Amino acid sequence: MSAPRQSQEAWITRHSWSLWNLLEERPKMILNPEYQRSSVWRGKRPKLLIDSILRGWDIGLFLFNGILIPRENGSTLPKYEVIDGQQRIRTIYDFFDGHLAISGESPDFTISGAVYDLRDKKWTDEDFPPAVRPSFHAYIIKTQVYIQKDEQEVARIFARVQDGLRLNNAERTNAIIGYIRNNIKDISGHTLLQNSRVKLIRFNRRWITANCVYREITEFVNGNFLDANLKNMKEMYNDNIRRTNIARSALAQVKRIYSYLDTQLGVRADLISKNSDFITIYMVASYLKQNDFIIDGDVINWIEFIENFIIKVGEARRMMRDTGVVSEELQQYYNYYRNMGRENGVSAKNRFDIVMEKLIALFPNVERRNSQRLFDDYQKRIIAKNANYQCQEPQDSGCSSTDVGLADGEADHIIPWIEKGPTSIENGQWLCQHCNRVKGSR
Ligand SMILES: [Zn+2]
């Protein structure tokens, strides 16, 4: 990639800026949370930063990458990508905009003998006391501006600046440039993820998308749940540097499911804030689609389902914490909780199974396309459970009516499939193998 070169004067490259420079260069700032180390500052930290400025204390180094954004007319716009200092810059801009009051514990601001009490008030840049403004603007910050470093190098600089913080999995895989990585980067900007509350920092959304792609490539839909660890994920990125059919169809599937869920959830994707929840919901939707379940339109109320599910998981977690036991009703939700935060095959499968069962049990009229005569494994489990593992239509004395386990029974259409009876839980009953054979021969 050869970006057009431009003289370094497009950016201020000296090592000290005034706050005034920071304010002037504001239109050029790209505060990209993907490079951020932690979530948004809360509590006292913003006020403490302004307090440090008032006291003339040091607030640390700011790192920028000077980049050129191409415009339609062929020219370019110089910008600063903020590698380190995003929260501090946001705080300073917030303060200038009048969104942040100075701390009540801050000192008076003194300029040539005159004392100004600025405390407990929100000041915009314009309404600052005229005598105070220039010296506030003149406060010096230390800066380092790199020029047109590529994304990988910026990620490495960032990681090293953060006290030698090691690159996380997302940053490591993101550095493997190729077909998979470029597509994952694109897909990760999807509205579904934008509406969700899953973290954006340190390429987390790319990591989530990579997980979904990995589940497709390794065919979770056929019951294969491999470990989405760094080694396997790296292999995926490396194997698929060039476009392959498997990679292409996995990526297309992820895009399709993101769009499906986006249609279903809209802004209520904000219910999802945990990676594990996102990946599990993704898998369930993808599985249903790939197994010919009819789930377009409003047959599944995803919003209600996700909201309730997450509430129950929270209840289960609190109950265990407070009492040391968890009720029968919340057991599965607790199991789900225990499998969160880990993307090894076993944890992913456990979560997937739990959500699948809860979902299809809750929407028993969800059916498979009419071409599908057989009940799906998850439907079978629910039908058997609902029947209390008893044969529901004994045909003759050969019936083994009680204790018909999953391996010993079969799900049967109440209204026959031939008569357009749907392959849904609602239209399913549990028969022992004997009765199913007898019934079938009549
Ligand atoms: Zn029977």
Answer whether residue 1 is part of any domain. no
pLDDT tens column, 279-300: 999 999 999 999 999 999 999 9
Residues 17 and 59 grouped into a single domain: yes
Distance 115 CA to ligand 1 centre (A): 92
Q: Does a structural domain hold residue 3?
A: no
Q: Select from 318, 337, 362 the last residue of a domain.
A: 362
d(CA 442, CA 432): 16
Condensed to tens digits (0 to 9), the pLDDT of residues 310-338 reads: 999 999 999 999 999 999 999 999 999 99
CA of 383 to the centre of ligand 1 (A): 15
Residue 2 confidence class, pLDDT cut points 50, 70, 90: very low
Model confidence pLDDT, tens digit, residues 25-36 = 999 999 877 877
**Residue 238 CA, ligand 1 centroid: distance in Å:** 53
For 348-400, the pLDDT digits (tens) are 999 999 999 999 999 999 999 988 889 999 999 999 999 999 999 999 999 98
- Kindly state whether residues 46 and 109 are assigned to the same domain: yes
Spacing, Cα 310 to ligand 1 middle (Å): 39
Q: Give me ligand 1 centre to Cα 412, in Å.
A: 11
Q: With respect to residue 226, please indicate whether it lies within any of the assigned structural domains.
A: yes
Q: Which two tokens stand for residue 241?
A: 């540097």
- How far does residue 416's CA lie from ligand 1's centre (Å)? 17
Total count of domains within the chain: 3
Query: What separation in Å is there between the alpha carbon of 442 and the centre of ligand 1?
Result: 15
CA 260 to centroid of ligand 1, rounded, Å: 40
What spacing in Å lies between the alpha carbon of 356 and ligand 1's midpoint? Answer: 27
pLDDT for position 155: 75
Of 159-173, 210-224, 311-325, 338-352, minimum mean pLDDT range: 159-173
- Residue 108 forms part of a structural domain: yes
Distance 381 CA to ligand 1 centre (A): 17
In this predicted structure, what is the pLDDT of residue 372?
Answer: 86
| Ligand 1 centroid – CA 390 distance (Å) | 8
CB 216 within 8 A of CB 253: yes
Residue that finishes a domain, picked among 109, 141, 161:
161
Query: Which of 362, 378, 401 is a domain's end point?
Result: 362
Query: Residue 394 C-alpha to ligand 1 middle, in angstroms?
Result: 4
Q: What is the 3-state secondary structure (H, E, C) of the chain?
A: CCCCCCCHHHCCCCCEEEHHHHHHCHHHEECCHHHCCCCCCCCCHHHHHHHHHHHCCCCCEEEEEEEEEECCCCCEEEEEEEEECHHHHHHHHHHHEEEEECCCCCCCEEECCEEECCCCCEEECCCCCCCHHHHHHCCEEEEEEEECCCHHHHHHHHHHHCCCCCCCHHHHHHCCCCHHHHHHHHHCCCHHHHHCCCCCHHHHHHHHHHHHHHHHHCCHHHCCCCCCCHHHHHHHHHHCCCCCHHHHHHHHHHHHHHHHHHHHHHHHHHHCCCHHHHHHHHHHHHHHHHCCECCCCCCCCHHHHHHHHHHHHHHHHHHHHHHCCCCHHHHHHHHHHHCCCCCCHHHHHHHHHHHHHHHHHHCCCCEECCCCCCCCHHHHHHHHHHCCCCCCCCCCCCCCCCCCCCCCEEEEECCCHHHCCCEECCCEEEEEHHHHHHHHHC
Tokens of 70: 């191409």
The mean of the pLDDT values for the chain is 91
Indicate if 152 and 204 belong to the same structural domain.
no
Instruction: Characterise 374 by phi-psi region: left (phi > 0), alpha (psi -120 to 50), beta (else).
Output: beta
Residues 299 and 174 in one domain: yes
Asked, for residue 344, whether it belongs to a domain, the answer is yes
pLDDT one-digit tens code per residue, 60-93: 999 999 999 989 898 999 999 998 899 999 999 9
Asked whether residue 137 falls in the same domain as residue 239, the answer is no
Residue 227 within any structural domain of the chain: yes
Residue 395 CA to ligand 1 centre (angstroms): 6
In this prediction, residues 98-119 reach a mean pLDDT of 89
> Do 234 and 373 sit in the same domain of this protein?
no
Rounded to whole angstroms, how far apart are CA atoms 8 and 147? 8
In this prediction, residue 178 carries a pLDDT of 85
> Has residue 2 been placed in a domain?
no
Domain shared by 332 and 398, yes or no: no
Residue 156 confidence class, pLDDT cut points 50, 70, 90: confident
- Looking at the structure, do residues 350 and 373 belong to the same domain, yes or no? no
332 and 385 both lie in a single domain: no
Residues 226, 276, single domain; the answer is yes
| Distance in Å, CA 376 to ligand 1 centroid | 20
> What average pLDDT does the segment 342-347 reach?
96
How close is the Cα of 430 to the center of ligand 1, in Å?
9
Neighbours of 320 (CB within 10 A): 16
**pLDDT tens, 249-282?**
999 999 999 999 999 999 999 999 999 999 999 9
Distance 385 CA to ligand 1 centre (A): 15
190 is in which domain, residue-wise?
Answer: 169-362
> How far away, in angstroms, is 414 Cα from ligand 1 center?
14
Rounded mean pLDDT, 415-422:
93
Say if residue 68 is in the same domain as residue 148.
yes
Q: pTM to 2 decimals?
A: 0.81
Per-residue confidence band for 194, with pLDDT thresholds at 50, 70 and 90: very high
The answer to whether residue 218 is domain-embedded is yes
pLDDT band at 4 (very low <50, low <70, confident <90, very high): very low
151 plus 253 within the same structural domain: no
